[in-house]
Structure 1
Amino acid sequence: MDTVKTAFVPHRPTKRVLDILETLANSKQGMTLSELSRTTKIAKGSLSPIVHTLAERDFLQLDPRSHTYSIGLKAYLISHSFYQHDATIKLLRTQMHAVEEGCLETCQVGIRENDRVLYIAKVDSPQPIRLISDVGRRLPLQCTAIGKSLLLDCTKEELQAIFKHGMKALTEDSISDIDILYAQLRSCREQRITSEHGEALASVRCVATPIRVDHIIQYALGVSVPAYRFDDEKKQTVIKLLDQARTKLEAALNT
């Protein structure tokens, strides 16, 4: 007998809770109930009891002065638990520390989320002047070295599909043309090293490499350096460290 497959329909109350958490996770300043209602398109009458329950359970916190909600301690602890127990994250962080110790610069790992790179791990540089960024931050793929590494195997048609809504520029040096991006990616494939020069932040230079699992790029590992410290010697040191880390990670992740 033939079976009829029905399309999955998300559970609406659960979806609302997740929409609230994701929206506030992406808000640096927090949001009032009205702002959250407008952004999530959830009516205030329906939103209020959900938000109050999440706050009561410490998944959200309320600033009594500004009346804004932001991510709470329980949400942080759940995220921290993932980083403590996920074996892949542990492997990545081991090599990130090796890279950071070798060049004394900030090392990050990102994954692709639609047309953006999502940063999932970071090891800070010990130097007083360094890149300031956060795990969970998202940036346009084409503006970052890590994002370019994640796109390294893409055809032009795949790039067009990824950037079907256009390319958001962050600086005057950001790439905003598919043909330019595709040509740059093709030139980087053999060496498996990508870079960006002031395309996400004018004062920062970045170098990255893709990490393949089962022949598919799943992660990208990158180093960010203040522009004034980024000379050719630093660049070659970073490339060597990234090559070594990629080799070790791919050996461990593909066993």
Structure 2
Amino acid sequence: MTSAEGFQPVKSAGRTLEVLETLAASGGRRSLGDLARDLGIPKSSLHGILRTMMQRGWVEADDTGTRFGLGVRALQVGAAYLDTDDAVGLLAGVLDDLSGQFGETVHLGRLDGAHVVYTAKRESMHPLRLYSAIGRRLPAHATALGKVLLAERADETVETIIGTSPAPLTRHTITDLAALHADLAVSRDRGYAVDHEENTEGIVCFAVAVPLHTPAVDAISLSIPVARLDGHLEERVVAALRRAVDQVRAARGLLTVS
């Protein structure tokens, strides 16, 4: 379809990117038939795309040659993105400080459409921890990272981003739009967001927006299992996240932001 600016997308390039995005979201290898069905691409055309991508290292096949996943080239490009991202570098010390204070999982995340993407992480020191990985995408409405970034935007913009029927990830996920707007209003007023087992059962997450852009596109979070969380620890976490925001404000002169 031609865009409003009159640009005609290149069909082959679009299909190639759709294959990469689908494989990235799959979490495992996919068969040719599965990919053809999901993408609506004829098997003959898709086979040629996959073979070309395999030759360039973007896609790998299993030993049978029938199931396909991302190749090492995708990792190299993803790593290059993070290596050149100013925010990831600037905030590394802040993430280290939070990790050292609490020994819990710390994330840096970026709003990407209706999702938030982990761009940096510090692992918990405890056996009972949140499983996550850099590059993982999660629905913004179901995470503290996403909610604190949505709270930076007007209600109308939030609905444009996430739609009117947000899907549940757990039984605690807020799926009623009015209730979500109310939750975002609370987050906006107090300066931080909380997800009470809305993304993962048994995990509570606290997040603050990173003041590098207006509205913010990055946020920092700290995730704690319910079993280790009490009122005193929650107060300490919130205070530490607020100090982190102050640190970022003091350091923002190191970045040229728009």
2:21 maps to what in 1?
22
How far does residue 157 in structure 1 lie from its aligned partner after superposition? 2.2
For the aligned residue pairs, the C-alpha RMSD in angstroms reads 1.9
The one-letter amino acid paired with 1:151 is L
Show CA shifts across 1:147-191 (max 9, x none).
Answer: 110111233322332232511011111101121111122222232
1:157 maps to what in 2?
156
1:37 and 2:6 are equivalent in the alignment:
no
1:67 maps to what in 2?
66
1:142 maps to what in 2?
141
Residue pair 2:210, 2:248 contacting (<8 A) in 1 also: yes
1:133 maps to what in 2?
132
The one-letter amino acid paired with 2:27 is K
Q: How does 1:41-190 map to 2 (within 5 A)?
A: 41-65=40-64, 67-190=66-189
2:12 maps to what in 1?
13
CA distance in 2, matches of 1:78, 1:99: 28
CA distance in 2, matches of 1:165, 1:66: 42
Residue pair 1:203, 1:226 contacting (<8 A) in 2 also: yes
Percent identity between the two aligned chains: 29
How far does residue 101 in structure 1 lie from its aligned partner after superposition? 1.1
CA distance in 1, matches of 2:162, 2:80: 33
Taking structure 1 as the reference length, what is the TM-score of the superposition? 0.91
1:208 and 2:207 are equivalent in the alignment:
yes
Show CA shifts across 1:113-171 (max 9, x none).
Answer: 22222222211112222111112222222211111101112333223322325110111
Residue pair 2:153, 2:215 contacting (<8 A) in 1 also: no
Residue pair 2:107, 2:121 contacting (<8 A) in 1 also: yes
The one-letter amino acid paired with 1:222 is S
Residue pair 1:107, 1:223 contacting (<8 A) in 2 also: yes
Residue pair 1:111, 1:118 contacting (<8 A) in 2 also: yes
CA distance in 1, matches of 2:201, 2:229: 13
Show CA shifts across 1:8-67 (max 9, x none).
Answer: 222222112111111101111221111111122221111112211211222111112483
How far does residue 227 in structure 1 lie from its aligned partner after superposition? 1.2
Taking structure 2 as the reference length, what is the TM-score of the superposition? 0.90
2:244 maps to what in 1?
245
Q: Structure 1 unaligned runs (5+)?
A: none
Q: Do the aligned partners of residues 251 and 75 (structure 1) sit closer, same or farther apart at CA in structure 2, a change above 3 Å counting?
A: same
CA distance in 2, matches of 1:156, 1:199: 20
The one-letter amino acid paired with 1:219 is D
Q: Which moved more, 1:56-65 or 1:202-211?
A: 56-65
Q: Structure 2 unaligned runs (5+)?
A: none
CA distance in 2, matches of 1:179, 1:245: 30
CA distance in 2, matches of 1:7, 1:94: 45
Q: Secondary structure at the match of 1:228?
A: helix
The one-letter amino acid paired with 2:206 is V
Q: How many residues align?
A: 251
1:193 and 2:175 are equivalent in the alignment:
no
CA distance in 1, matches of 2:85, 2:113: 23
Q: Secondary structure at the match of 1:221?
A: strand
Residue pair 1:213, 1:254 contacting (<8 A) in 2 also: no
CA distance in 2, matches of 1:86, 1:140: 22
Residue pair 1:159, 1:178 contacting (<8 A) in 2 also: no
The one-letter amino acid paired with 1:96 is L
